[in-house]
Amino acid sequence: MKIAMIAEHTTPLPAHRGEPACPASLHLCALSRQLAKRGHKVTVYVRRSDPEQPEGRTRMARGVSVTHLDAGPARPLDEREHAEHTGAFGTALAAALDEDRPDVLHAIGWTSGLAALHAQAHSERDQSAIPLVQTFHSLNAAEQRSGMDSDPQRTRMESILASRADRVIVHSTDQQNELARLGVPRHHVGVVPFGVDTDHFTVEGGTSSEYWRSSRGERPRLVAVTSLDRSGGADRLVDSLLRMPEAELLLVSTSSRTGVPLDEDARRLEIRAKEAGVEDRLHLVGPVERKELPRLLRSADVFVSAASYDPYGGAVLEAMACGLPVVATATGAVPGAVLHRTSGVLMRFGHPDEVARAVRAVLGTPTMSTAYGIAAVDRARSRFTWQRIATETEIAYERARPAERDGLDEEADGLVLSGAAR
């Protein structure tokens, strides 16, 4: 099958090179490579965000290539800027698809979905018969429920896209429920979670002592891999240290553009920690290269997250694969990853008092902590490998093809339900 992945807002190349990368880049990189290993030919169409990026098609891995399309300024854009150049991206995409017609279109993100529809409508060759699969990493309706900014136009566009696509993929039942509230039938939406590289993130291997001020076993170590802005929950984690005078916290920034010394959010957190008198037990680092992250995770005792919304759950999965018990807010994709009181503890709000109570409960019972870690590894390996995510995505492609739909539903439901039961 020839697969055209459309990602206006990101590129898989940073993740492919092992550089700090956003979850969308990790998703594109891992999924495209696994689909190629399954015998498919994948072309990822991205917007040129740097004048140094090569023209035309670039080979990323066997069976995977990346094509940069000119649309707007050759620099990184924020989400609202992307929407301004979606039409130009869609026009360039139409020309590219005319030259190399795929068997399926897979749009990643809502602006990419709009570009795909634009390309189908403005193609010189009829592309309307090509099935369109739409993946939403996040939905504005879900973000609003978590206290984030409202964007009525985006919400309307996401609803239209979900209705126009031949198949919709989301990362969690939370997002499936949001689409149902918008009038999208549940049977039209498949839940395919974010994945984790269980060959890279493992229990086995070395640890890192570089960022810790105490020796292993001297003081409980908490680690969080998150955005340092307020939605990432870092402020609540810093405040929770007041309730846990025995613990130290390592905050790893997920920013792929700005290091901690230049990050305004990092400066705010350092001031907050100093005012609370916990600056000697807080460490801010990042961004961290992918090859170093497993060693850092394995050096901690508990992974914590107080994010107000986490549509991916990727950092949680990576910690689980490394054998860490997880304490996290039950939001977005996290409840699908963490089994409450089996592989970790889910919190309702992630307030500082709630974080402290949950962490103390885990640390105060070593047998519980060990059991959570063992269960976390088993769940990561059995349900969330990228190989399995690719298989489920492949099923979504087949369901989107009208001639292939009959007879596939029962087989696909069996695979998905067997994984959900784990």
Q: Do domains 2-195+386-420 and 221-383 have the same CATH topology?
A: yes
* CATH superfamily, with its number, for domain 2-195+386-420: Glycogen Phosphorylase B; (3.40.50.2000)
CATH class, range 221-383: alpha beta
Answer yes or no: are the C-beta atoms of 25 and 10 closer than 8 Å: yes
What amino acid occupies position 63? G
Both tokens assigned to 374 = 């063992």
Answer yes or no: are the C-beta atoms of 7 and 51 closer than 8 Å: no
Strand positions, DSSP E, 192-292: 221-226, 248-253, 282-285
**pLDDT, tens digit only, all 422 positions of the chain:** 999 999 999 999 999 999 989 999 999 999 999 999 999 999 999 999 999 888 879 999 999 999 999 999 999 888 778 888 999 999 999 999 999 999 999 999 999 999 999 999 988 887 778 999 999 999 999 999 888 999 999 999 999 999 999 999 999 999 999 999 999 999 999 999 999 999 999 999 999 988 898 888 889 999 999 999 989 999 999 999 999 999 999 999 997 666 777 889 999 999 999 999 999 999 999 888 999 999 999 999 999 999 999 999 999 999 999 999 999 999 999 999 999 999 999 999 999 999 999 999 999 999 999 999 999 999 999 999 999 999 999 999 999 987 544 444 444 344 333 443 34
Query: Would you say the pTM of this structure is higher than 0.85?
Result: yes
Residue ranges of domains in the chain: 2-195+386-420, 221-383
As separate numbers, helices (DSSP H) first and strands (DSSP E) second, the chain gives 17, 14
Answer yes or no: are the C-beta atoms of 403 and 103 closer than 8 Å: no
In order, the DSSP letters of 72-141 are: S-SS---HHHHHHTHHHHHHHHHHHHHHS--SEEEEESHHHHHHHHHHHHH-SS--TTS-EEEEES--HH
Sheet of 344-347: strand order equals 282-285, 248-253, 221-226, 302-305, 326-329, 344-347
